[in-house]
Amino acid sequence: MRTLVTTVLEKPACHPQLIGNAKVTLSELEYLQSQWERREKLVAARHPVVFSEKYSDEAEKKALAAAERTAKELLRSEGAKTWDFLSWRETYHTEKRNEIEASQKAYRRLCEQIGLVYSPLLTVRRAQLQAVVSLAALGATVPRGWWKSDTTPVLTVAGWKAHFQACATHAKNAPLPLHFVALERVATTHWQHVEAKAEHGFNLVSYCVHFVNDRKCKYALRQVFPSIPSRGFKQWQEITLHAVTALRTVHSLRSAAESHVVLKQLTSAYLAVAHENANHMEDFLSRQEVQALEGMAAFAEQMRDRNDLFEIASVHWQTFWESTNASLLANVKAALSGFDTLTLPDDEHSDNIEDALTFYDASRQRIAKFLQDYEQQEGDRTNSVMAAFAAQRDFADCQQKLVPLVNYVELQNPGQRQPDWKWLNKVIAWRDLFERLAAHSLTI
């Protein structure tokens, strides 16, 4: 009896609510405490999502399941697990999209400035710019006329070489060193006498009857052949014939050189020094300018048939090759090297720049929308995305299981909203002891 008395004296203030209250038990209290601690761990994990008991509703469960399916698909396609890595993927897509967009703008500018046919395919763009760089590397310009389909640049250069060789052969076979520049400068008033002498020859009668004409002819020939002796020269007829045919050869060479400024320069340079060395021909024909021009002529004939790559007839294309712009060529090289840095999606459309832009843009927007829809508060972004959805479901489950906790919190002081587990365990244990002692006393 003294034990019962002692127990009664130790009664808590809430004993009226405890005694006979079957809604509160130690076993349930222990279970509620485990659920409470479980919920606290979920909150302590700091997932960047909102926890709510609403996910216990059937409609909300379906919405959460749909969100999880969306998250799984997104994480699978991005190879991500955490919120932080998902944000990194969004930044990655944005950066790659910006790189491709910059390359796209540079390529479109080159299409307008040079005359390239726009193509969305990276392989075609490489082929276009590589062809431009390769052609420019030859170091020669292309006259507008060479781009016409009715011209034959290769034969034009070959024809000039043939005339050049003929002229050089003529200089080599000359009786005396032949000055081509002086030959071209002979006045018409004197040259007509040279042609007449070539036809009729030199003789005593001609010399006596046409003395003045004879002197004009010889004066002109002495300009063309400065090494003619002042006395006793007997080869007047031979050098006259040679001079007449030489002038026709020079005119043919000049005419053949009209197609390109480089040919004009080489022709003028050779004619100025041909009298110094009869073997200058090989030196001139083996020059880099001639080889570059031959390569350019062949390249031009090949490229002008590629209307699928270049706008051959456009003024921009023809102007660029007529006078190559170093700054524009540098932009071409920069764009070509920039292609190597582009990262395209690894799928069947990996060569299509426009598809790559669409892919990166869509991927970036999809991640941004997902984060906007589901990342609704600050938290630990290194946590798993799927763990956050699981935590939402577990939190709602905990909330449901903690509904009976209200029966226990009511036992505490009115202002105390957090459960005092130790105190609750103590008072319920007192209640159980009191009820056992009271029941025992009644049986005595």
**DSSP-based three-state secondary structure for 274:** coil
Portion of the chain with pLDDT greater than 90, in percent: 31
| Separation between Cα atoms, residue 136 and residue 303, nearest integer Å | 13
| Separation between Cα atoms, residue 366 and residue 360, nearest integer Å | 10
Residue 141 has pLDDT above 90, yes or no: no
Closest by CA position to 427, among listed 33, 19, 122, 125 = 19
Give residue 101's pLDDT: 94
pLDDT band at residue 212 using 50, 70 and 90 as cut-offs? very low
Are residues 299 and 428 located together in one domain of the fold? no
Question: How far is residue 369 from each of residues 8, 59, 72, 190, measured CA to CA in Å?
Answer: 63, 22, 15, 92
161 within a domain of the structure (yes/no): yes
Domain region containing 227: 144-303
| Residue 134: both structure tokens together | 């390769």
In the chain, the number of structural domains is 2
Backbone angles phi, psi at 17, to 5 degrees: -85, -20
| Residue 352: both structure tokens together | 């299509």
Residue 232 has pLDDT above 80, yes or no: no
Are residues 148 and 267 located together in one domain of the fold? yes
Are residues 74 and 163 located together in one domain of the fold? no
| Residue 204: both structure tokens together | 């005593």
Are residues 259 and 185 located together in one domain of the fold? yes
Are residues 261 and 187 located together in one domain of the fold? yes
Contact 274, 171 (CB under 8 A): yes
Are residues 164 and 256 located together in one domain of the fold? yes
Are residues 381 and 283 located together in one domain of the fold? no
- Range scoring the smallest mean pLDDT among 262-276, 296-310, 341-355, 372-386: 341-355
433 within a domain of the structure (yes/no): yes
Contact 249, 170 (CB under 8 A): yes
Largest Cα span, the chain = 182
Of 281, 303, 325, the last residue of a domain is: 303
Contact 401, 409 (CB under 8 A): no
130 within a domain of the structure (yes/no): no
Tens digits of residue pLDDT in 87-128: 999 999 999 999 999 999 999 999 999 999 999 999 999 999
202 within a domain of the structure (yes/no): yes
pLDDT band at residue 444 using 50, 70 and 90 as cut-offs? low
Are residues 284 and 161 located together in one domain of the fold? yes
Residues facing 116 on adjacent strands: 310
| Separation between Cα atoms, residue 262 and residue 269, nearest integer Å | 10
Tens digits of residue pLDDT in 175-198: 888 888 888 888 777 777 676 665
327 within a domain of the structure (yes/no): no
| Separation between Cα atoms, residue 421 and residue 103, nearest integer Å | 66
Are residues 79 and 164 located together in one domain of the fold? no
38 within a domain of the structure (yes/no): yes
